[in-house]
Amino acid sequence: MQNTEQYVVGIDLGGTKIAAALFDSKGEILNRERMETANARTAEEVVQRMIDMVRSVSLGHPLSGVGLASPGAVNSKEGIVLHGTNLPEWENVPLKKWMGEALGVEVQVVNDANAAAWGEYVRGAGKRSENMVYVTFSTGIGAGIVLDGKLLLGTTSFAGELGHNIIEPNGPECICGNKGCWEMFASGTAIRNSALELMRSRPSAIAELAAARNEAISSKHVFEACMQEDAVAVEVVDHAVYYMALGLANAVHTFNPDRIVIGGGVSKAGDQLFPALRAQTEKLVMKPYLGTYTIVPAGLQDDVGLIGAAALFHGS
């Protein structure tokens, strides 16, 4: 009997580590490997490691493809990492060509936010939706859009940079050089920073919660303190939820999604976040959009990049 199983390797390339996994057609992980990139400096060294990982993780199975999630600016049509934000020496690295030639298989490359969006759409909280907006609130804000069942890439594969939509022209300066980008108000970093700002003049349980676990103050502690009705935390969360909803309302008006999937560390705030976020977004969208979308937490955890990268072959 002929074996019709289609094996795919997904790779999640991060700033400090590479994760790779072998998937079957159902999206089950059959084997996985993980490697630090700290002592591999050049793009050539990192690519060679990924080639070795694909060979070893695939356990000798013939592959239908290798899907790769990369940080930074990626031209997905050409499979080139144009500029790696967490990979400082990466400029115009032709990943698809180098890896495809070495391995003799088709290689597809997307940026990590798009991979996560596609992973959620195919295997996670976006399943059975048709038009999905994925937003991850973590250090910054990442996003990926699926329209009519297709990952929206745009002319140069840069579509979906919602975190850099300007929502306050006179707001604080962003790393991109503009002022008042969405991520300056609604990311995990923004939540932490506004808590620190208020804590300069007001006492708050946030500091104790972080100190008790020997952790640096983060948005996680702000949400925990909010649960205890700490006044500073409540104020910070209310402010952040307003801005998160503002960006989501813009996305609703732009893409008319049926589902909005929220990922990233901030999404773990659960009931501290979602009811308020849904209510605030409803206040901001125009009437015809009410009831046309749902806002749900992401369904996949740390493997979302890997899963989404592999699903570039299995999902379409």
Enumerate binding residues for Zn ion (CB under 5 A): 164, 174, 176, 181
Residue 216 to residue 206: CA distance in whole angstroms: 10
| Minimum CB distance to Zn ion, residue 167 (Å) | 10
Which amino acid makes up residue 234?
V
The pair of three-digit structure tokens given for residue 113, joined into one six-digit string: 């936010």
- Cα separations (Å) of 112 from 33, 65, 69, 116, 156? 18, 18, 5, 6, 15
Residue 51 or 166 having the CB closest to Zn ion: 166
Q: Find out whether 111 and 74 touch, Cβ atoms under 8 Å.
A: yes
Judged by CB, which is closer to Zn ion: 190, or 296?
A: 190
User: 209, 204, 212: which is closest to 220 by C-alpha?
Assistant: 209
- Minimum CB distance to Zn ion smaller for 94 or for 171: 171
Our CB check for Zn ion shows the closer of 40 and 174 to be 174
- Cβ-Cβ contacts under 8 Å for 123 (sequence gap 6 or more): 27, 299, 300, 307, 308, 311, 315
CB of 178 to Zn ion, least distance (A): 5
Closer residue to Zn ion in complex, CB, 58/187 = 187
User: Taking the complex as a whole, how short is the minimal distance between the CB of residue 189 and Zn ion, in angstroms?
Assistant: 12
Closest separation in Å from C-beta 112 to Zn ion: 17
d(CA 243, CA 185): 6
- Given the complex with Zn ion, which of 102 and 174 has the nearer CB atom? 174
Tokens of 273: 């976040």
CA-closest candidate to residue 35, choices 18, 54, 56, 58:
18
Smallest distance from the beta carbon of 238 to Zn ion, in angstroms?
Answer: 23
How far apart CA 153 and CA 155 sit, in angstroms, is 7
Minimum distance from residue 182 beta carbon to Zn ion (Å): 8
Task: Provide, rounded to whole angstroms, the least separation between the CB of residue 179 and Zn ion.
Answer: 8
Distance CA 150, CA 135 (A): 16
Residue 84 C-beta: closest distance to Zn ion, Å: 18
- According to DSSP, residue 172 is labeled P
Give the C-alpha separation, 108 to 201, whole Å. Answer: 51
Specify the residue, 51 or 174, whose C-beta has the smaller distance to Zn ion.
174
C-alpha R_g of the chain: 20
Comparison of 140 and 257: residue with beta carbon closer to Zn ion: 140
Which residue reads 């996305």 in tokens?
251
